[in-house]
Amino acid sequence: MSNGGGVMSSTTHLLDFLEEPIPGVGTYDDFHTIDWVREKCKDRERHRKINAKKKESAWEFTKSLYDAWSGWLVVTLTGLASGALAGLIDIAADWLNDIKEGVCLNAMWFNHEQCCWGSNETTFAERDKCPQWKSWAGLILGQEEGPGSYIMNYFMYIYWALSFAFLAVLLVKVFAPYACGSGIPEIKTILSGFIIRGYLGKWTLLIKTVTLVLAVASGLSLGKEGPLVHVACCCGNIFSYLFPKYSKNEAKKREVLSAASAAGVSVAFGAPIGGVLFSLEEVSYYFPLKTLWRSFFAALVAAFVLRSINPFGNSRLVLFYVEYHTPWYLFELIPFILLGVFGGLWGAFFIKANIAWCRRRKSTRFGKYPILEVIFVAAITAVVAFPNPYTRQNTSELIKELFTDCGPLESSQLCQYRSQMNGSKAFVDASPNKPAGPGVYAAIWQLCLALIFKIIMTIFTFGLKVPAGLFIPSMAIGAIAGRIVGIAVEQLAYYHHDWLVFREWCEVGTDCITPGLYAMVGAAACLGGVTRMTVSLVVIVFELTGGLEYIVPLMAAVMTSKWVGDAFGREGIYESHIRLNGYPFLDAKEEFTHTTLAREVMRPRRSDPPLAVLTQDDLTVEELQGIINETSYNGFPVIVSKESQRLVGFALRRDITIAIENARRKQEGILLTSRVYFTQHAPTLPADSPRPLKLRSILDMSPFTVTDHTPMEIVVDIFRKLGLRQCLVTHNGIVLGVITKKNILEHLEELKEHTEPLASPWYYHKKRYPSSYGPDGQPRPRQHNVQLVTAFPGRQADEEESEEEVVNLLDGRGSTL
C-alpha cells in the first residue's frame, strides 16, 4: 500500500517502517492448524505496542488497563454465563423429565418435587406423593392405580420420550450439526490448535442448550456433564469476541477455552478444583500458569452462580452430596481393587464396542438416517426402562440413591434391612450391619437388570446425533456394580463375622461396611476406565464427599482401572473418537517410543517428486504462481539460490497468495513478469524489467529447523511443546524437506498399525520402504533401524547415505522451479 515507489533505492527502504500489514496475512483457513509460536509472538507484539503507547494519554492508559484486565473479565463473564446456563439446564431438564410421568396441577412449571413442597398433606416418608401432582393416568383416566393406568402411564412415558428425542435430533440436524455428541473430542482438538469454525458459535450454543435438555429428558442413556463443557466453551468463545486481545489471536483464545472447560466441569459436578484439574489433565494442550489461575477463577465463579440458582434445592454445590460416617478398613481394598478391574474392563469393552459401532455408522448406509436411529434407540430405551424403577428414574437420581448410605430416614427399597431388634421394616436403626430384607434382594435383581440395560444402551447411545455425555451413564454403571458388591460384602460380613478378615475389623453389632462407598468407588472406577482420567477424577469425587478419608480407596480403584484399561488399549474414549474422526490431534500423553529419524518422516519421501522450494530473488510472479498452482503444500522453504540451497526462510502459501493479490490490486506496475524477491534489497535488474515485488514482510525468517538425523522422538516433542505447524529438515545447512503435524500423525498411525514394531523392525521396515530391499527380501545396505548406543541415543548406526546422496536428492529439485 505505502510501499513507496522506488524500492530499489537504498534510502526509501525506511518507508518500510510504515508498511502496513497486508490484511488477511496471519489468519487461518477453516480446518487448518494454527502456529502457536507465531500467535504468541503476535500477542507479545500487540502487548508491547499497547505498553509503549500507554504513557501518551489518559485514554491510552485506560485502554491498556482494559487490555490488562480483559483476561479476568472474559473468564468472569464465561463463569457467570456457564453457571447460569448450567442452572437453567438443570431446572429445565428436571421439569421435562417429570413431565414424562405427570403434571403439576397447581402450576405447570413445577417439577414433581417442587409441586409437592407446597403441599401440607405430605409426610416426610411419602414426600413424593401429593394430590397436586397427577400422573398422566390420573389426569386422563382419572385413576392412579390399576393395570389400565399403568399402561396409560407407560404409553405416555414412551410418547414423551420419543417426542423429546425427535425434537432434539431434528433441531440438531436442521440448525446446528455441531451440537451433537459430548463435544469433548472436538474441544480437545480445537485446544490443541485446530480451527473448526462455528463449532463454538452462538448457534451451536443455543441449539446445544435446548437439545441437551430434551435429550436428557428423553430418558436416553446419556448425561449432561460432557455437553456442559461444550456449552461453557461456547460461552468462552462468544465472550472472547468482546476483547480484541482474544478474538484476534487463536492462541490466546485457547487460553479462555481452557478456563471455560474448567468452568464447565465445575458446574457439571460442583467441583471447582476438579474442574481445573480436568482442564489440565484431560482437555488442555497449552496450559500456562496464568491460565491455571484464570481457570480456577472461572470455575469458582461458575460454581457460585450455580449455587445461587440452587437447582438441586439443597444449597449444595455438588451434584451428589454424600456424607459417610464410618471409616474404611484395609481388607476392603480387595473389593475396591476388584471394582477397579471391573471399571477397566468395562472401559476397554465400551471403547472397543462404541468405536466399532460408530465406525459402522460412518461407513455403512445406516449412518444416513440419524433421525430414525435416534427415535429407534429412544423407543427401545423407553420401552425397556419404564418397568424397572432403577432405569425409569433420572440417572443422576439413581446415582445419588446408590451413593447414599442407608440411614434411619431412608425410605428406599435398597435400605429394607431386617432389623434384629424387632424384625419390623418400619423403623430400622442405621448403625450396625444387618441381614438384607426381601426389598434388598428385589432391588439387587432390578439393579442387575438395570446394569445390563445401561451397558448395552450406552454403547449405542454415545455417538447419536443428539448432545450426549457419558460421565453419568458410566458412573451409573459403576455405581450399580459397586452397590451390588457393597451389599454382597456387607452380607458376607454379617453372616461370616467369624472369618479372619471380618473378625479383626468388624465386630458384631457395629457397622463396618458402607455399600454407598462401594457405589462411589465403582462409579469412579468405571468413569476412569472410560476416560482414563486419574487425578482430576479422584479430586472431583473427593469434592463430592469432602473428606480426605476416602481418597485411598478411590485412588486404588481409579489407578487399577486405568492400568487394566491401558492393557487393552492406551486410548481413552475421547482420543479414540478423535482418531475415528481423523482430527489432527497430537496427543501429549502418549510417549513416542520408536527410533525413526526426521529424514524418514519428512516429505518429500524418496519416491516423491522433489521438494518445492522458492529462491530468494530470481523468481517471477508468474513462476511463483505456477509453483503455487502445481502444488498443494501449505508453505514453501525459501533458499538462497538453486546453486546454494541453503535455507533463508519459509513462506506460507496463503500469505503468498494474499500478498500477490494485494500487490496487483494496490501497487502499480506489478506484472506477471515482475521479479519476486524475499531479500532486503531488490536484485539488480535490467533497465526495462517491470517493477519487482518485495515479499520480505511475509517471509518467516526464523523457521524451525531440525537436522535430518534428529530422532523423531525429539521432533515430536518439539511439535508438542512449541505447538508447531511445520518444521524444516536440513542437512549441513541445506534444506532437505518439511515435516508437518500431519506427517507426524500419519507416521504415528503407520507405526501403530504394526503391533510390535520393536520385535520385528525388518518386517515393518520392509512394508514401508519396499524399495530398500533387494529381490531376495534381504535389506539393502541403506536402512535405518539398527540402533547404535552412544552419547546421543537415537542416532542411526548405518550412515551409508553420505553427502553425495543428499546432493543427489537435492539435484532433482531444480526441475520443478
Site for a copy of itself in 209-248 (CB under 8 A): none
How many other CB atoms are there within 10 angstroms of residue 527's CB atom? 30
CA nearest to 796, candidates 616, 595, 556: 595
**Least spacing, CB of residue 468 vs a copy of itself, in Å:** 27
Q: Which of 58, 174, 687, 791 binds a copy of itself (CB under 8 A)?
A: 791
Four-CA torsion 645, 650, 652, 656, nearest 10 degrees: -70
Is residue 732 a contact point for a copy of itself (CB under 8 A)?
A: yes
Q: DSSP assignment, residue 727?
A: E
Residues pairing with 620 in the sheet? 675
Our finding on whether 359 is near a copy of itself (CB under 8 A) is no
Residue 210 or 648 with smaller CB distance to a copy of itself: 648
Please, are residues 220 and 464 in contact by the beta-carbon 8 Å criterion?
yes
Which positions from 311 through 330 interact with a copy of itself, judged by CB under 8 A? 317
17 vs 124 by CB, closer to a copy of itself:
17
Q: Which is nearer to a copy of itself, 193 or 703 (CB)?
A: 703
Q: Does 25 participate in binding a copy of itself (rule CB under 8 A)?
A: yes
The site that binds a copy of itself (CB under 8 A) totals a number of residues, namely 100
In angstroms, the CA 345 to CA 295 distance is: 33
Nearest to 406 by CA among 324, 320, 478: 324
Interacting residues with a copy of itself between 632 and 651 (CB under 8 A): 640, 646-649
Cell of 711: 530422532
Parallel, antiparallel or unpaired: strands 635-639 and 614-615 = parallel
Q: Which of 595, 726, 740, 743 binds a copy of itself (CB under 8 A)?
A: 595
User: Is the Cβ–Cβ distance between 281 and 534 less than 8 Å?
Assistant: yes
From 44, 127, 605, 767, residue interacting with a copy of itself (rule: CB under 8 A): 44
Q: Which residue has the cell 519416491?
A: 607
CA 776 to chain centre: 48
Return the number of the residue (581 or 697) whose C-beta is nearest a copy of itself: 697
Please tell me whether residue 752 binds a copy of itself under the rule CB under 8 A.
no
At 187, list the grid cell. Answer: 474441544
* Least distance CB 94 / a copy of itself (angstroms): 23
3-state secondary structure 655-683: HHHHHHHHHHHHCCCCCCCCEEECCCCCC
Q: Which is nearer to a copy of itself, 317 or 444 (CB)?
A: 317
- Least distance (Å) between residue 185 CB and a copy of itself: 18
Q: Which stretch binds a copy of itself (CB under 8 A): 354-362, 398-406, 731-739, 766-774?
A: 731-739
CB of residue 546 vs a copy of itself: minimum separation in angstroms?
Answer: 6
DSSP annotation of 181: B
Compare residues 41 and 334 and give the one whose CB is closer to a copy of itself: 41
Of 681, 766, 768, 782, which lies in the binding site for a copy of itself, with binding defined by CB under 8 A?
Answer: 681
Under rule CB under 8 A, residue 340 binds a copy of itself: no
Given the DSSP bridges, would you call strands 699-700 and 647-652 parallel, antiparallel or unpaired? antiparallel
Give the count of beta carbons closer than 10 Å to the beta carbon of residue 802.
Answer: 8
- Is the CB of residue 661 less than 8 Å from the CB of residue 23? no
Q: Scan residues 243-282 and list those touching a copy of itself (CB under 8 A).
A: 272-273, 276, 280-281
Residue 470, amino acid: L
Residue 21 found at the interface with a copy of itself (CB under 8 A)? yes
DSSP state for residue 813 in the 8-state scheme? G
By the rule CB under 8 A, 687 interacts with a copy of itself: no
**303 is a site residue for a copy of itself (CB under 8 A):** yes
Q: Tell me the window of 21-29, 401-409, 430-438, 511-519 that interacts with a copy of itself (CB under 8 A).
A: 21-29
Query: What is the closest distance, in whole angstroms, from the C-beta atom of residue 723 to a copy of itself in the complex?
Result: 9
Residue 759 CB coordination number (10 Å): 9
Give the H/E segment covering residue 371.
Answer: helix 370-385
> Does 442 engage in binding with a copy of itself (CB under 8 A)?
no
Identify residues 556-575 at the interface with a copy of itself (CB under 8 A): 559
Q: Which of 794, 809, 810, 813 binds a copy of itself (CB under 8 A)?
A: 794
780 DSSP assignment: P
Subset of residues 47 to 106 that bind a copy of itself, contact rule: CB under 8 A: 47-49, 51-52, 55
